[in-house]
Chain A
Amino acid sequence: MSAAAATVASRTEVPPALAVAWLALARDLRLAFRKREQLIQPLAFFVIVTALFPLSITPELGELRPIAPGVLWVAALLSSLLALDFLFRDDAQDGTLEQYALSGRSLTWLLFAKTAAHWVLTGVPLALIAPLTGVALGAPGYSLLGIVVTIATGTLALSLLGSIGAALTVGVKRSGVLLSLLTLPLAVPILIFGARATQLAIRNESFAAPLELLAAIVVLCLTLAPLAAAAAVRISLE
């Protein structure tokens, strides 16, 4: 009795929007771990794309090392674009998104939770596997932590930015190419700063400046992207 009362009390202390967002996040994570192919496919795609570059250019690690940042970032960008398709699609088809919009809770917070879950499920694994492909492209050992940090920050920005495009195209059939066309030009600053940070990490120089610019984009996206995505979902559900 007292334990239950305590949990109720602690629940009520949390702002309701945050509590509901937390539930949505937990739900998305649980769903994804039961349908693992959504976790694995973007990763496999990322590894295959990075493997195409040595096959198409040269197997010499010395020649691959200078282009490794670009290869890693373009592959990460494409892979997270591919994964964006999963972000709202299933929930839009089975009506969950509609229930979210009708629930009277803040749709902004709910979509933010979904996007955060999406980053945990696609961005973080991508950042963790990136050192492996980095080594295969000739990145030296001291740069691997830098690669993890920059890719993790960049994919967070990509997930947030991409959530707007995914929300706008949620009602469109076969929206993959359109989603890329909408998101890629907007993602160019993320690509530029991220690839530069990785490049500096591989050269064993300080990569703080581009990483801070990347973090500034994350902050901007954190504040504005969920609002825009919520507006877009409301339009798409009409």
Chain B
Amino acid sequence: MTWTWFHRLGSPPHVYRLAERLTPWFAWPAGLLIVGALYGGLVLAPPDYQQGDGFRIMYAHVPCAWMSLMVYVTMATASAVGLIWRMKVAYAVAASCAPIGASFTAATLMTGMLWGRPMWGTYWEWDPLLTSELLLLFLYLGYLGLRSSFDDMQRADRASAVLAVVGVVNVPIIHFSVYWWNSLHQAPSVMKLGAPTIALPMLIPLLMMFLGFTLYFIAILLVRLRGEVLRRERSASWIREVVTP
């Protein structure tokens, strides 16, 4: 097996063109899957026998929650790659991940609160899932804050990479401690998703949503990555060839 494909990822022009070529391959399937899943989830799936139509916000909430974690892990992995192999493009990936992840986390919190209104009768409940999601948002905000406090791009990259790696070690500990804390004070909430009892017509749109959101994230990441590479390489000569064809 040759590793040339990996080494070529270290070259910004190559990555820029690769990202440009790959974007539609992720964006179109993502759009189709999300539209299909919306139809399946909002129209075809039967109402829940307990929650009525209220459960349908799950099709936005659960994939968002999944993405908020996945983006953090992607960001930390890219940061580790950057720290280990000193790969400039990996730092650009990590930097592009952070705003996307923070947006997914904010969307999870908002849809969770909207779902909480019919389910709990209140917009906010100190539910372990919502609480750890809130802490994840603070982790993203800390990362963005640290990144923006440096003028020098390289220092911002490396310092925030250390923070992302430290954060990803801590995320499971935070998650566990919040569950432990919550179990002391109240009975576990009714939110049992992904249980095998979920009906198939409800499950299929959810799985489509998961896949669609993942592809959507990759497409958005590729677009942001191109912007990030352009910003970092703005004085390089190859930019001229790319921007003015």
Contacts and interface: CB of A to CB of B under 8 A. Distances in A.
Interface stretch (A14-22, A28-36, A112-120, A175-183): A175-183
A68 interface: no
A164 interface: yes
A182 B177 contact: no
Contacts of B83: 231
Contact of A182 (B142, B154, B169): B142
Interface stretch (B2-10, B16-24, B160-168, B234-242): B160-168
B41 to A, nearest CB: 32
B150 A188 contact: no
B146 A189 contact: no
Contacts of A175: 149
Nearest to B156: A235
Contacts, number: 73
B138 interface: yes
Interface in A170-201: 171-172, 175, 178, 181-182, 184-186, 188-189, 192-193, 196
A232 interface: yes
Main secondary structure of the interface of A (DSSP, over half): helix
B149 A172 contact: yes
A228 interface: yes
B170 A186 contact: yes
A236 B155 contact: yes
A178 B159 CA distance: 13
A171 B152 CA distance: 11
* Dominant SS among interface residues on chain B: helix
Interface in B50-77: none
B163 A182 contact: yes
A217 interface: yes
B88 interface: no
Interface in B141-183: 141-142, 145-146, 149-150, 154-155, 158-159, 162-163, 165-167, 169-170, 173-174, 176-178, 180-181
A192 B177 contact: yes
Nearest 8 pairs between A and B by C-beta?
A189-B177, A185-B138, A182-B142, A235-B158, A192-B181, A181-B142, A192-B177, A172-B149
Given A178-B145, A181-B142, 10 more contacts: A164-B162, A168-B146, A175-B149, A182-B142, A185-B139, A188-B178, A192-B178, A193-B177, A213-B180, A231-B162
